[in-house]
Structure 1
Amino acid sequence: MAPVIGEEDQSPGGAGTSGIPTWGSSRSKFGALPWTDYFDEELDVEIGQDSFHVYLAGTQGPVLFCLHGGGSSGLSFALSARMLKEKVKVAAMDMRGHGSTRTSDDLDLSAETLCQDVLDVIRTMYKNDPPSIVLIGHSMGGAIATRVAAKRVLRTLAGLIVVDVVEGTAIASLIHMQKLLSNRPPAFPSVEKAIEWNVKGGSLRNIDSARVSIPPTLKYNEERKCSIYSACSYVWLTPLEKSERHWRGWYEGLSDIFLSAPVAKVLLLAGTDRLDKSLTIGQMQGKFQMIVVRHTGHAIQEDVPEEFSSLVLTFVARNRIGAHGIDIPGLIRQRRSA
């Protein structure tokens, strides 16, 4: 019998047919949480031989189409989705090579391929009657969302929210990426231990978010045998170290592309020292809104989902996105008194 994810069971199991850990209840502080606590349903979008996995929440308002960062999955937006779905719809996609998405070439993480994937999924999901859409992207996903928006091919695209990625900083950090990836534990004896490491030694600060977002970043590897001397069994699903040839292509030219996107846009940053010259000038000219979110790590939507959700809803309301926009108490009065 496969162990319930989160239990300290080091026997084989705990993975579905895809090799990705399955979810189960756990009494542990670092036990996995099911996606069903946050999203309403999941959808597999079939495009040729490829299958793209999308989590859905909400029944009204515009669609917030969310793209995760490298090595993560759509469930990095889980806690935020539970808060957002009362006002808007949320669609969080597992990008190629991530989560439960399966393609004929999971290692092709080029910007061009990822952008085409997003466009294909949106067109397949909404066909000839697309709703108002706001693209939200974190890190790598922010670069892809920006490039999709700038293509000007989504006729109902109404907004762009980019989370903690700026061209200059991103490119400067690439020389350190392989070292950072090599410093990660290559495997874990259980999903629970992986969640614990990501909170204590990784980049996440919110335990509840890690408990739902980390399991789909892992897979069970039967070739690694457990012993008292080594951590094994659960390894990283996405081999990011093999995608190095695509990294620069995600971020190069991103500032000018962001400024050219013909929609309302906001840049959410976890620090104040991230703007390059193009963005500084663009902000002074009022071409986009920049918000610095204090006391958070790189994954703003995971670390502070309440603040993130509030900022997103305020953006949607201020720009009257959707058939009639959405109303937030106090916001309309603020606008009238301005």
Structure 2
Amino acid sequence: MSALQKSIMKSKLPPRCPRSYKQKLAPFGMSRCRNYQPESWNRFFQKFEDVETEGGTFRVYLSAEPDEPNRPRIITLHGGGYSGLSWSLFTEEITYMIHCQVISMDIRGHGETKAKDPDDMSAETLVKDVEQVLQKLFGDEMPPLVLVGHSMGGAIAVRTAHLPSLQSYIYGLVVIDVVEGTAMDALASMQSFLRSRPTHFRSIRHAIEWCVRSGQVRNVASARVSMPSQIINCETGLLATRELDDLNNEDSEETEGGSVTRADSIAEEDEVPETADNGGETRAVSHGDPPKFVKPNGEINKYKWRIDLSKTESHWAGWFRGLSALFLGARAPRLLLLASVDGLDRELTVGQMQGKFQMQVLTRCGHAVHEDTPEEVARVVAAFALRHRLTEATDAGRGMHLVSAPGC
């Protein structure tokens, strides 16, 4: 192990949030319950807006507005195939720690966004979308912005940080688990990975269970809210989250009469396997034959993916080419979060040794770092914002000593 790797492994995170430690996620975010019931977005965000631009109508989820107008807006950009709701638990955590507002956008071709040309997934088009959405939201009164992007969204965040129209408003740039070298190397096997996924699911719960058990997201709580936004009903063509919204509306009406709960409304007939902790590794506990995630047919062919990522292959290289140099050249303070200490390419390794950016490696998580360990990601981003004096800690955050952790 190199000296750089050793120094990274010794770096410490800000102290764990007492509230979350006692009441929320187990290691890997995997609880021992078998609750794969979908959960609506409105527990985590205050509202959504459908922002119209020349490129189409873009769904944006917003947490509560900050107490002062000069507080930072954290703009979150998801990876390919995910959605703005991938940031739900992160949003809940970071707004608990610091004064800010999270604005989470469904990128073109994803979630509830309706683009005029959804097949145009070029890096230039995606960056233009972000620019126009922010200009529509804030106009001439642009607040301080912190761009946070995961995977494809990280590449878009880096390119957005170089836009002349936004550059002076961007006070922080956070990139999660995407590095040019490793990303470009992984493209050759991407089609094989996509073919290995099921094409359809028989229920929303079935999709959530696959999401967790396949390792796409290791955190049950996050998968319950994010996975429904990645699949659509084959018959209606609508996002699965629409069905949850309808159920919530029915529940609120019927609950006033004292009759039904959400869990009763969406209960499925199939049992879901439990999980157990085995020395830090989570495994499925089978009660009979485990579910088979294969392409179904007939009546159980109910949900499919919102976006066919395999058809975006022509744009993949354009997302990541030149990313390391652009990241190092951004004016704003930079933070790189990785799921592996071996994730750096040569250019970023040199930049890290020269102290050009802050880096943190988060263990116990997969590629969807912000979903697997939302609390830890929020603590690192909150500490980053406080260290650069972009905002202040909340009353709860003050007791966490967030800025005491050294940046590596």
TM-score bracket, normalised by the shorter chain, equals 0.7 to 0.9
Amino acid at match of 1:315: F
1-structure distance, mates of 2:383, 2:236:
49
Give the aligned residue type for 2:170.
L
Q: Which amino acid aligns with 2:127?
A: C
Residue of 358, 377, 387 corresponding to 1:308: 377
Quote the Cα distance in structure 1 between the aligned partners of 2:402 and 2:359. Answer: 21
Structure 1 residues 223 and 307: CA distance shift in structure 2, 3 A: closer
Distance verdict in 2 for CA 1:52–1:310, change over 3 Å = same
Long gaps (5+) in structure 2: 1-32, 238-294
Partners of 1:104 and 1:309 in 2: CA distance: 34
Letter in 2 for 1:77: W
Equivalent in the alignment of 2:187: 174
Q: What residue in structure 2 maps to residue 59 of structure 1?
A: 65
Deviation at 1:28, TM superposition (A): 7.0
Cα distance change of structure 1 residues 49 and 141 upon mapping to structure 2, 3 Å threshold: closer
CA distance in 1, matches of 2:133, 2:236: 34
What per-residue deviation string (whole Å, max 9, x for no partner) do you get for residues 245-277 of structure 1?
A: 000000011000100010001000000111111
**Given that residues 143 and 169 in structure 2 are in contact (C-alpha distance below 8 angstroms), is that contact kept between their aligned partners in structure 1?**
yes
Q: Is contact 2:89–2:374 with CA below 8 Å preserved after alignment?
A: yes
Structure of larger gyration radius: 2
Q: How many residues align?
A: 306
**Secondary structure at the counterpart of residue 150 of structure 1:** coil
Report the CA distance between 1:76 and its aligned residue: 0.3
- Secondary structure of 2:342's aligned partner: coil
- CA 1:281–1:49 in structure 2 vs 1: closer, same or farther (change >3 Å)? closer
Aligned partners of 2:384 and 2:403 also within 8 Å: no
Residue 321 of structure 2 corresponds to which residue in structure 1? 252
Which residue type is aligned with residue 116 of structure 1? K
Identify the match of residue 129 of structure 1 among 141, 146, 149.
Answer: 141
Over 3 Å counting, the alpha-carbon distance change for 1:193 and 1:159 in structure 2 is same
Alignment of 1:136-175 (within 5 A): 136-154=148-166, 155-175=168-188
Correspondence 1:207 to 2:220: yes
Alignment of 1:83 with 2:93, yes or no, is: yes
Q: Give a deviation string over 1:193-242, Cα, whole Å, max 9, x none.
A: 00000100141100010000000100111299x97778511000011000
Distance 2:236 2:132 in 1: 35
Mapped contact 1:316–1:326 kept (Cα < 8 A): no
Task: Identify the structure with the greater helix proportion.
Answer: 2
Describe the shift of the 1:300–1:109 C-alpha distance in structure 2 as closer, same or farther (beyond 3 A): same
Match of 1:320 in 2: 389
Give the direction of change, closer, same or farther, for the CA distance of 1:234–1:291 in structure 2 (3 Å limit).
same
- Deviation, 1:31, is 1.1
Contact 2:173 2:334 survives alignment (8 Å): yes
Matches within 5 A, 1:28-107: 29-48=35-54, 50-60=56-66, 61-86=71-96, 87-107=99-119
Q: How many percent of aligned residue pairs carry the same amino acid?
A: 43
Alignment check: 8 A CA contact 1:150 1:258 kept? no
| Structure 1: 5+ residue stretches without partners | 1-26
Distance 2:296 2:150 in 1: 37
Task: Pick one of 128, 132, 153 that aligns with 1:120.
Answer: 132
SS in 2 for 1:176: helix
Alignment-mate amino acid for residue 128 of structure 1:
D
Residue identity in the other structure for 1:83: E
What SS is found at the alignment partner of 2:35? coil
Name the SS for the 2:107 alignment partner: coil
SS in 2 for 1:137: strand
Report the 3-state secondary structure (helix = DSSP H, G, I; strand = E; otherwise coil) of the residue aligned with 1:143.
helix
Shift of 1:286: 1.1
- Shift, 1:300, TM fit: 1.0
Q: Which amino acid aligns with 2:389?
A: R
- Over residues 268-313 of structure 1, what are the superposed CA-to-partner deviations in whole Å (9 max), with x where a residue is unaligned? 0000111111101111111101100011111111011111111111
Match of 1:188 in 2: 201
- Local SS of the residue matching 1:53: strand
Change (3 A) 1:129 1:180: same
Q: What secondary structure is seen at the aligned counterpart in 2 of 1:244?
A: helix
8 A Cα contact 2:215 2:366, kept in partner: no
| Structure 1 residues 84 and 227: CA distance shift in structure 2, 3 A | closer
Q: CA deviation at 1:85?
A: 2.1
1:187 and 1:233 in contact (8 A); partners too: yes
Instruction: Quote the offset at 1:332 in angstroms.
Output: 8.4
TM-score (norm 1): 0.86
1:48-68 deviation digits (Å, cap 9, x = unpaired): 361000000032121000000
Q: Deviations over 1:83-103 (max 9, x none)?
A: 222321000000000000001
Query: Cα RMSD (Å) of the superposition?
Result: 2.1
Distance in 1, Cα, partners of 2:43 & 2:122: 33
Higher relative contact order by CA 8 Å / sep ≥ 6: 1 or 2? Answer: 2
C-alpha change, 1:98 and 1:333, in structure 2 (3 Å) is: closer
